[in-house]
Amino acid sequence: MKILGIETSCDETAAAVVADGRKLLSNVVSSQIDLHAKTGGVVPEVASRKHVEQVGYVVDEALAAAGVGLDDIDGYAVSNRPGLLGALLVGVSAAKALAYARQRPLMAVHHIEAHLYANWLVEPAIEFPVVALVVSGGHTQIFRMTGHGEYAILGRTRDDAAGEAFDKCARALGFPYPGGVSIDRLAKTGDPARVPLPRAWLGDSLDFSFSGLKTSVAQAIRSGKHGDVRPEDWAASVQAAIVDVLVAKTMRAARQEGVGRVLLAGGVAANSHLQQAMADACAADGLALTAPPPVLCTDNAAMIACAGYYHWAAGKIDGLDVDTIASEELA
Ligand code: KG4
Ligand code: ZN
């Protein structure tokens, strides 16, 4: 079962071919980073127009890289929610056109569900239940997964997402866009204890709060007390403040739920310190960890095709009237 996945929910135009939900045949991502660097963030209308320009080429490239033609594609998967409506419409329209022209099934998938399914590209034999941390630009959630497509939410951010915290702190510190990547790179040679920054533990809750962090960073900069702090130390301090809480709460959730495996997903899961700290914590607690490589953490279409495969296997096929949805929780 070869599925062509398409992803256009934000600022990446992506297409990929995945066989049987686990074998990556191609994974093409056309990033709009340079375009949005000028404005320091994504301008929705600009993103949509770029998707329109790119989507046909990206699909062609994904087919060519996989060494297949449209005749070989057995189904089409696309993320239809949540995301920027104009951007989502481009991918959904392309997938509908292909599914209709080729008379093949169409699977519309939730973007966050797809992030989770990147783990099945790495480890196809995951046993349930698992606890999964999803950390992206718009989402920060801990899920318990009891089966394919079965999610219960254990914790979520009450304000900013972890990716937003990375990006906003980076912006306050004058680091290049996109901020999360800049912080990851700089932090490698920085001292995480150099600037004391708060961690919002919220008592016993598995919820998160990151909005106070960017305020603390802004206040620390304004106080003038840290004029001699190197960018590397700022980056390491901010990164530690975010990662400490993500790891501690995920481990608490895993213990509380009695699971044997933790999954990591979303753009922030590409963070090298988060990957290492989670691996260390899981090893210390005797838990297995699955974490996709960075290219499968940030937005891509391989994860869409993989999630689409599991929809197809469960008989969840969508009609050509399937809609795009700006905001919808997975659970
Ligand atoms: O999942 P994603 O690619 O798009 C959304 O669905 O939001 O996540 C994007 C977020 C951005 O906030 C970006 O700064 C962050 O992921 N990110 C990182 C790293 N790579 C991407 N944050 C920290 N370290 C990284 N290496
Ligand atoms: Zn994403």
- What pLDDT digit, counting tens, does each position of 215-227 carry? 999 999 999 999 8
Q: For ligand 1, say whether the CB of 82 is within 6 Å of any of its atoms.
A: no
Residue nearest to atom 14 of ligand 1 (CA): 180
Integer-rounded Cα Rg, in Å, for the chain is 20
69 CA from centroid of ligand 2 (Å): 27
Which whole number is the average pLDDT over 274-287? 98
- Which among 154, 110, 111 is positioned nearest to 132, based on CA atoms? 154
Task: Supply 95's token pair.
Answer: 């997938």
Q: How far is CA 32 from the centre of its chain?
A: 16
Ion ligand 2: residues, CB within 5 A, are: 136, 299
Strand-pair partners of 131 = 144, 262
Question: What integer pLDDT is reported at residue 113 of this predicted model?
Answer: 98
* Residue 275: how many other CB atoms lie within 10 Å: 19
Question: Has residue 40 got a pLDDT over 90?
Answer: no
Confidence of residue 41 (pLDDT cuts 50, 70, 90): confident
Does any ligand 1 atom lie closer than 6 A to the CB of residue 184?
Answer: yes
pLDDT in tens, 103-129: 999 999 999 999 999 999 999 999 999
Question: What share of the chain in percent tops pLDDT 90?
Answer: 97
What pLDDT shows up at residue 118? 98
Instruction: Please tell me the number of Cα atoms within 13 Å of 146 on its side-chain side.
Output: 7
Averaged pLDDT of the chain: 97
- Quote the percentage of the chain above a pLDDT of 70: 100
Which residues, 6 or more positions from 23, have their beta carbon under 8 angstroms from its beta carbon? none
pLDDT at 130: 98
Q: What is the mean pLDDT of residues 264-280?
A: 98
